[in-house]
Amino acid sequence: MTSTFTDDPRESGHFPGLSRIATLLADPGRAAMLWALMDGSARPAGELTLIAGLSPSAASGHLARLAEGGLLALEVRGRHRYYRIATPEVAAALEALANVAQVSAPQRTSVRAARTVPLDLRYARTCYDHMAGELAVRVFDGLLAKGWLIERDGVVDTTDAGDDGLRRWGIDPAGQRTRRRRFACTCLDWSERRAHLGGALGAALLTHWCERGCVERAEKPRVLRVTPAGRRHFEAMLSA
């Protein structure tokens, strides 16, 4: 029976499958397709082919490898094949690697990269299924200051006051705790170099703000547009 991870004897000295995942991420075309899906969307193979700048046959092979490797999930809709990030854990790992790339690069390269991030992308964007960017960092700091959240070593939890406030917003903290993922955690923001809120609670907050009309998905990938009502909501929340 084939091992779930790998039968390669070279991997006996470390976590099984680590080099396999690294190999999948090492190709620029595959990395481009994965990064394009970090807005939580499911995209057709043809669109991902254009994003990666590959031939259809080459892209098909790369997508198959990513799906077989557990990084992408495939959805078949009629004659069309759509791909999305397989799990929130995969998305969190990709975001973490983006931060590692910023830190490990020479400082002048990191500074130049930060300067080239479009302002709208830097201000508010999606990080898979939760909000990232300058606004998300400020909101996370604000919720900590309000006493709604507590954080220790990257683990985030709500307080009694936070549970009450979230329920007033129509978010059920107890229900979010039953999801098959981390309830709440810090996620290091690659453009701000500080933490924003991730996990099931972070996703629930983004859904709440979208349904309330505070933020809208823009035409640009991953960019979130803050509406006038949203600006009033966030200003009131952060000034309280």
Question: Which of helix, strand or coil describes residue 75?
Answer: strand
In the chain, residues under CATH classification 1.10.10.10 are 9-86
Instruction: Give the model's pLDDT for residue 110.
Output: 47
Instruction: Give the model's pLDDT for residue 50.
Output: 92
Q: What DSSP designation does 6 have?
A: -
Q: How far apart are CA 173 and CA 160, in angstroms?
A: 10
Q: How far apart are CA 58 and CA 61, in angstroms?
A: 5
H helix intervals, the chain = 18-26, 28-36, 45-52, 56-68, 88-104, 107-116, 119-123, 134-145, 160-168, 173-177, 199-212, 228-239
Q: What DSSP designation does 11 have?
A: G
pTM attached to this predicted model: 0.73
Pseudo-torsion of CA 218, 137, 141, 202, nearest 10°? 60
Instruction: Give the model's pLDDT for residue 3.
Output: 40
Instruction: Give the model's pLDDT for residue 15.
Output: 62
Q: Which residue pairs, CB below 8 angstroms and at least 24 apart, start in 16-25?
A: 20/69, 21/69, 21/71, 24/65, 24/66, 24/69, 24/71, 25/97
Q: How far apart are CA 211 and CA 87, in angstroms?
A: 23
Q: How far apart are CA 55 and CA 64, in angstroms?
A: 14
For domain 9-86, the CATH architecture is Orthogonal Bundle (1.10)
Instruction: Give the model's pLDDT for residue 1.
Output: 36
Instruction: Give the model's pLDDT for residue 116.
Output: 55
- Nearest alpha-carbon partner for 134 in 119, 117, 120, 122: 122
What average pLDDT values come out for the chain (240 residues) when binned by 10 residues? 46 66 90 87 91 92 94 90 90 81 55 61 90 95 96 92 96 93 89 91 96 90 92 91
Provide the β-strand partners of residue 223.
125
Instruction: Give the model's pLDDT for residue 2.
Output: 39
